[in-house]
Amino acid sequence: MKDRYNFIAVDLGATSGRTILGCVSGQKIEMKELTRFKHVIHQMSGHYYWDIYHLYNEILHGLTEAAKTKVKIDSIGIDTWGVDFVLVGKDGQILRTPYSYRDPHTIGAMEEYFKLVPKSRVYEISGIQFMNFNSLFQLSAMVQHKDSALPVVDKILFLPDALSYLLTGEMVTERTILSTSSFMDAKTGQISSELIEPLGLRQEQFAPIVQPGYVIGTLTEDIQKQTGLGAIPVVAVAGHDTGSAVAAVPADNDGFAYLSSGTWSLMGIETKSPVITKQSYEMNFTNEGGIENTTRVLKNICGMWILECCRKEWKDAPESYDKLYTETQQTETFRSFIFPDAPEFANPESMTTAIKDYCKRTSQPIPETYTEQARCIFDSLAMRYRQVFDMLQELSPLKIKHLHIIGGGTQNYLLNQYTANSLGVPVYAGPVEATAIGNIMIQAKAMGLVADLKGMRKVIANSVNPKCYMPEDTDAWNMAYQKYLEITK
């Protein structure tokens, strides 16, 4: 076996994407960013769409840059956000521009679907948190609105699987991305006929289900010519970016919770089997697939989305995040709270107005300045994390002793400290590039460089140095938490 292996991770978030070259040598991983690009939701005729051809071209650009490095690439893996999908016709062509999960056509779709299958039965089968944009309800909305592509669809491919198909010509359904759909049976890992057939869909409209680490195929001859690469294998990593990110948690025991912090914040635990109970149903927790048939028991929390929307509106705020954090830290604490997962923060025309309106409606001081609004956001997120963490303590088979924060949010040192203060447990922040690292290490596992998840995490722990935040001022935070609960109840 050779000493050095090189992998390409294509990591697509909801606002930007990267292609990263990862080298695994011995018991360490090193990474180099090849390309970074923005992509946006396109609004047309009252709908919101993803430009899949832009994503495809950016991936080709990244592969072309990889070829210029002259290193031998061993494989490629793609991860994206969850739930969204592409419709493919019998001729293998994409039938329509895929909807974004933020499209308003799903408003009311859950309630309409529950007329076909009761809500409790949907959760009993899928174990998935109820959110109107889950794939099941997107498809339900398309049926209700008589979408012209559905009657002629041959295959429904989730976004990372669709992009892998464009690279290889081979179709698969990767398990972790399927698990975000609300129509995978959480206990069997198969698509539930009971959930899709009421929509007129059939099992054969989905490609074969595969586990993370499955080799989908190799780059087509056309793409080899365009990029300068050879017949490189494309591996189905944990196609759901959170699945890849959680695989990169540098933990050496099972007593931890994780917070994948980015546009969304996803807080959860890793278990050997789904947690589908009356309590988890009432708490609206989700059971998503992880690698090696683990389950990610978690809850979606509206994360940095609120801050980023405000930053677009703030005219006098500093461009530097560090300067913003410093100024925010000096602002009055616990002045105003919002409930980050309230519907009005999902996609408002003006996020700053939505925050002000919420505070006015709940009889709180209205945050007028950007520092007051930032403080409101950070205080509220830290309190919401506490709320979900306490729920996880009730659901977890093990006592949770600490929290690992992974992803871009690890760089928000102010929120990390507030989170430790709020939860009252040590918080470890890092790695920043968790999704790309997990993506690469799943490829390394497919190549036989490590035997299992434990071996992956050992290599990752040797390669990163998470920062530890210890709880401070816990009495004050505990008192403020009771205020938060009263305001947001």
Q: What residue ranges of the chain are covered by domains with CATH 3.30.420.40? A: 4-241, 249-430+450-489
* Nearest-angstrom CA–CA distance, 120 and 130: 11
Per-residue pLDDT at 298: 96
Residue found by looking up tokens 């892998």 in the block: 164
Residue type, 312: K
Tokens of 279: 């309590």
Contact 437/11 with Cβ under 8 angstroms? no
Give the pLDDT band of residue 2 (cuts 50, 70, 90): confident
Which helix (H) or strand (E) element contains residue 480?
helix 474-488
Which helix (H) or strand (E) element contains residue 286?
strand 286-289
Give the pLDDT band of residue 7 (cuts 50, 70, 90): very high
Known active-site residue 241 = yes
What is the distance, to the nearest Å, from the Cα of residue 73 to the centroid of all Cα atoms in its chain?
Answer: 26
Mean pLDDT score across all residues of the chain: 96
* Nearest-angstrom CA–CA distance, 354 and 345: 7
CATH architecture of 4-241: 2-Layer Sandwich (3.30)
Average pLDDT over residues 403-409: 95
Percent of the chain with pLDDT over 70: 100
Tens digits of residue pLDDT in 179-194: 999 999 999 999 999 9
* Nearest-angstrom CA–CA distance, 272 and 278: 19
Cα dihedral: 464, 292, 139, 169 (round 10): 90
1 pLDDT higher than 80: no
What is the pTM for the complete model shown? 0.92
Catalytic residue among 79, 241, 341, 379: 241
What is the distance, to the nearest Å, from the Cα of residue 214 to the centroid of all Cα atoms in its chain?
Answer: 21
Per-residue pLDDT at 46: 92
Percent of the chain with pLDDT over 90: 96
Cα dihedral: 161, 293, 388, 158 (round 10): 10
Tens digits of residue pLDDT in 260-308: 998 889 999 999 999 999 999 999 999 999 999 999 999 999 999 999 9
Question: Please, where are the H alpha helices in 406-470?
Answer: 413-423, 434-446, 453-463
41 pLDDT higher than 90: yes
Average pLDDT over residues 467-486: 98
117 pLDDT higher than 70: yes
Q: How far is CA 227 from CA 21, 73, 395, 478, in A?
A: 15, 12, 48, 56
List the beta bridge partners of residue 90. Answer: none
- For the segment(s) 249-430+450-489, the CATH number from 3.40.50.80, 3.40.50.720, 3.30.420.40, 3.40.50.300 is 3.30.420.40
Average pLDDT over residues 217-240: 98
Residues 6+ apart with CB under 8 A from 199: 113, 116, 139, 140, 143
Tokens of 383: 């309190």
Query: In terms of Cα–Cα distance, which of 192, 246, 184 is closest to 438?
Result: 246
Which helix (H) or strand (E) element contains residue 234?
strand 233-236
